[in-house]
Chains A and B, each alone.
Chain A
Amino acid sequence: MVEITINGKKVQVEEGTTILEAAKANQVNIPTLCYHELLEPYGACRLCLVEVVKNGRRSLTTSCNYPVTAPIEVETDTEKVINSRKMVLELLLSRCNTSPKLNQLAAEYGLKKSPFELHYDDCILCGLCERVCREIVGANAITFAQRGTERVVIPPFGEEAEFCIGCGACVYVCPTNAIQIQEDGEEKIIDRWSRVLKLRTCSECGMEFAPDFQLRFIQKKYDLPEDFFDLCRDCRAMKK
Chain B
Amino acid sequence: MKRIQSASELEAYRQECMASRDPQRTVITICAGTGCQAHGCSNVVAAMQQELDKQGLDQVEVKATGCHGFCERGPLVVIHPQGVFYNKVKVEDVPDIIARTVKEGEVIESLLYALPATKEQISLEKDVPFYKLQERIIFGSNGLIDPTSIDDYLAIGGYQALSKALTGMTTDAVLDEVKISGLRGRGGGGFPTGRKWESTRDVDSGVKYVICNADEGDPGAYMDRSLLEGNPHSVIEGMLLGAYAVGATEGYVYVRHEYPLAVANLTMALEAAREMGFLGQNILGSGFNFDIKISRGGGAFVCGESSALIASIEGQVGEPRAKHIHMAESGLWGKPTVLNNVETWANVPVIIDKGAELFRSIGTEGSPGTKIFSLVGKVNNTGLVEVPMGISLREIIFDIGGGIPGGRSFKAVQTGGPSGGCIPEEHLDLQVDFDELDKVGSMMGSGGMIVMDDRTCMVDVAKYFLNFLKGESCGKCTTCREGILRMYEILDKITRGEGELSDLDMLEKLASVVQEASMCGLGKTAPNPVLSTLRYFRDEYLAHINDKKCPAGVCKDLIHFEIDPDACTGCHKCARVCPVDAAHGKKKEPHEIDQEKCIKCGMCYDACKFDAVKII
Is the beta-carbon distance between A147 and B516 smaller than 8 angstroms? no
Among residues of B, the one whose C-beta sits closest to the C-beta of A61 is B324
Of B110-118, B195-203, B266-274, B465-473, which stretch is located at the interface? B465-473
Among residues of A, the one whose C-beta sits closest to the C-beta of B516 is A60
Residue-wise, chain A 141-161 has the 8 Å CB interface mask toward B (1 for contact) of: 000101111110000000000
Residues from 281 to 339 in B contacting A, C-beta threshold 8 Å: 300, 302, 317, 319, 321-322, 324-325
Is the beta-carbon distance between A91 and B476 smaller than 8 angstroms? no
Residue-wise, chain B 477-509 has the 8 Å CB interface mask toward A (1 for contact) of: 111011111100100000000000000001001
Is the beta-carbon distance between B482 and A95 smaller than 8 angstroms? yes
Question: In whole angstroms, what is the CA distance A66 to B321 when docked?
Answer: 12
Given the known inter-chain contacts A92-B482, A95-B482, please indicate yes or no for A148 contacting B517, CB distance below 8 A. no
Is the beta-carbon distance between A84 and B324 smaller than 8 angstroms? no
Taking the closest CB of chain B, its distance from the CB of A140, in whole angstroms, is 13
Given the known inter-chain contacts A125-B481, A149-B470, A151-B481, please indicate yes or no for A46 contacting B517, CB distance below 8 A. yes
Among residues of A, the one whose C-beta sits closest to the C-beta of B317 is A144
B513 adjacent to chain A (CB < 8 Å): yes
Is the beta-carbon distance between A94 and B482 smaller than 8 angstroms? yes
Q: Out of B476, B486, B516, which one reaches A84, CB within 8 Å? A: B516
Question: In whole angstroms, what is the CA distance A60 to B512 when docked?
Answer: 11
Question: In whole angstroms, what is the CA distance A124 to B478 when docked?
Answer: 8
Among residues of B, the one whose C-beta sits closest to the C-beta of A127 is B476
B518 adjacent to chain A (CB < 8 Å): yes
Q: Out of A65, A91, A144, A148, which one reaches B478, CB within 8 Å? A: A91
Question: In whole angstroms, what is the CA distance A148 to B324 when docked?
Answer: 23
Among residues of A, the one whose C-beta sits closest to the C-beta of B518 is A46
Is the beta-carbon distance between A44 and B476 smaller than 8 angstroms? yes
A115 adjacent to chain B (CB < 8 Å): yes
Is the beta-carbon distance between A62 and B300 smaller than 8 angstroms? no
Residues from 28 to 83 in B contacting A, C-beta threshold 8 Å: none
Residue-wise, chain A 23-39 has the 8 Å CB interface mask toward B (1 for contact) of: 00000000000000000
B571 adjacent to chain A (CB < 8 Å): no
Among residues of B, the one whose C-beta sits closest to the C-beta of A114 is B486
Q: Which residues of chain B are near A127, meaning CB under 8 Å?
A: 476
Is the beta-carbon distance between A65 and B475 smaller than 8 angstroms? no
B412 adjacent to chain A (CB < 8 Å): no
B255 adjacent to chain A (CB < 8 Å): no
Q: Which residues of chain A are near B509, meaning CB under 8 Å?
A: 87
Residue-wise, chain B 139-164 has the 8 Å CB interface mask toward A (1 for contact) of: 00000000000000000000000000
Given the known inter-chain contacts A46-B518, A84-B513, A151-B475, please indicate yes or no for A65 contacting B481, CB distance below 8 A. no
Interface size on B, residues (CB 8 A): 33
Is the beta-carbon distance between A148 and B479 smaller than 8 angstroms? no
Taking the closest CB of chain A, its distance from the CB of B518, in whole angstroms, is 7
B474 adjacent to chain A (CB < 8 Å): yes
A190 adjacent to chain B (CB < 8 Å): no
Interface centre among B470, B472, B478, B518 (most CB of A within 10 A): B478
Given the known inter-chain contacts A117-B489, A125-B481, please indicate yes or no for A150 contacting B517, CB distance below 8 A. no
Taking the closest CB of chain B, its distance from the CB of A43, in whole angstroms, is 5
B519 adjacent to chain A (CB < 8 Å): yes
Residue-wise, chain A 114-137 has the 8 Å CB interface mask toward B (1 for contact) of: 011100000011010000000000
Taking the closest CB of chain B, its distance from the CB of A161, in whole angstroms, is 18
Question: In whole angstroms, what is the CA distance A211 to B147 when docked?
Answer: 62
Interface of B is mostly: helix
Q: Out of B322, B472, B510, which one reaches A147, CB within 8 Å? A: B472
Taking the closest CB of chain A, its distance from the CB of B434, in whole angstroms, is 18
Q: Which residues of chain A are near B519, meaning CB under 8 Å?
A: 43-44, 46, 62
Is the beta-carbon distance between B473 and A147 smaller than 8 angstroms? yes
Question: In whole angstroms, what is the CA distance A150 to B475 when docked?
Answer: 8
Given the known inter-chain contacts A60-B516, A115-B506, please indicate yes or no for A148 contacting B470, CB distance below 8 A. yes
Interface band, chain A: 35 or more
Taking the closest CB of chain A, its distance from the CB of B523, in whole angstroms, is 9
Question: In whole angstroms, what is the CA distance A184 to B321 when docked?
Answer: 41
Is the beta-carbon distance between B324 and A65 smaller than 8 angstroms? yes
Question: In whole angstroms, what is the CA distance A217 to B300 when docked?
Answer: 36
Taking the closest CB of chain B, its distance from the CB of A101, in whole angstroms, is 14
Question: In whole angstroms, what is the CA distance A115 to B489 when docked?
Answer: 12
Among residues of B, the one whose C-beta sits closest to the C-beta of A116 is B486
Q: Which residues of chain A are near B300, meaning CB under 8 Å?
A: 147
Question: In whole angstroms, what is the CA distance A115 to B502 when docked?
Answer: 11
Question: In whole angstroms, what is the CA distance A156 to B510 when docked?
Answer: 34
Q: Which residues of chain B are near A170, meaning CB under 8 Å?
A: none
A210 adjacent to chain B (CB < 8 Å): no
A49 adjacent to chain B (CB < 8 Å): yes
A67 adjacent to chain B (CB < 8 Å): yes
Question: In whole angstroms, what is the CA distance A149 to B516 when docked?
Answer: 20
Q: Which residues of chain A are near B516, meaning CB under 8 Å?
A: 59-60, 80, 84
A45 adjacent to chain B (CB < 8 Å): yes
Is the beta-carbon distance between B474 and A91 smaller than 8 angstroms? no
Taking the closest CB of chain B, its distance from the CB of A129, in whole angstroms, is 15
Question: In whole angstroms, what is the CA distance A43 to B300 when docked?
Answer: 21
Q: Which residues of chain B are near A111, meaning CB under 8 Å?
A: none
Question: In whole angstroms, what is the CA distance A116 to B490 when docked?
Answer: 10
A2 adjacent to chain B (CB < 8 Å): no
Residue-wise, chain B 512-542 has the 8 Å CB interface mask toward A (1 for contact) of: 0100111100000000000000000000000
Is the beta-carbon distance between B322 and A46 smaller than 8 angstroms? no
Taking the closest CB of chain A, its distance from the CB of B190, in whole angstroms, is 17
Is the beta-carbon distance between A88 and B485 smaller than 8 angstroms? no
Additional pairs, 19, CB under 8 Å, beyond known A84-B513, A91-B483? A44-B519, A46-B519, A47-B478, A62-B519, A67-B324, A88-B517, A91-B478, A92-B478, A115-B506, A116-B486, A146-B475, A147-B475, A148-B470, A148-B472, A148-B485, A149-B473, A149-B482, A150-B475, A151-B475
Residues of B near any A CB (own CB < 8 A): 300, 302, 317, 319, 321-322, 324-325, 470-479, 481-486, 489, 506, 509-510, 513, 516-519
Supply 29 A–B pairs (Cβ within 8 Å), ascending by A: A41-B322, A43-B321, A44-B476, A45-B478, A46-B478, A46-B479, A46-B517, A46-B518, A59-B516, A60-B516, A60-B517, A61-B324, A87-B479, A88-B513, A91-B483, A92-B478, A116-B486, A116-B489, A124-B478, A125-B475, A144-B317, A147-B300, A147-B471, A147-B473, A148-B472, A148-B474, A148-B475, A149-B482, A151-B475
* The 6 A-B residue pairs with the shortest CB-CB distance in the complex, in nearest-first order: A151-B475, A91-B482, A87-B513, A148-B473, A65-B322, A60-B516
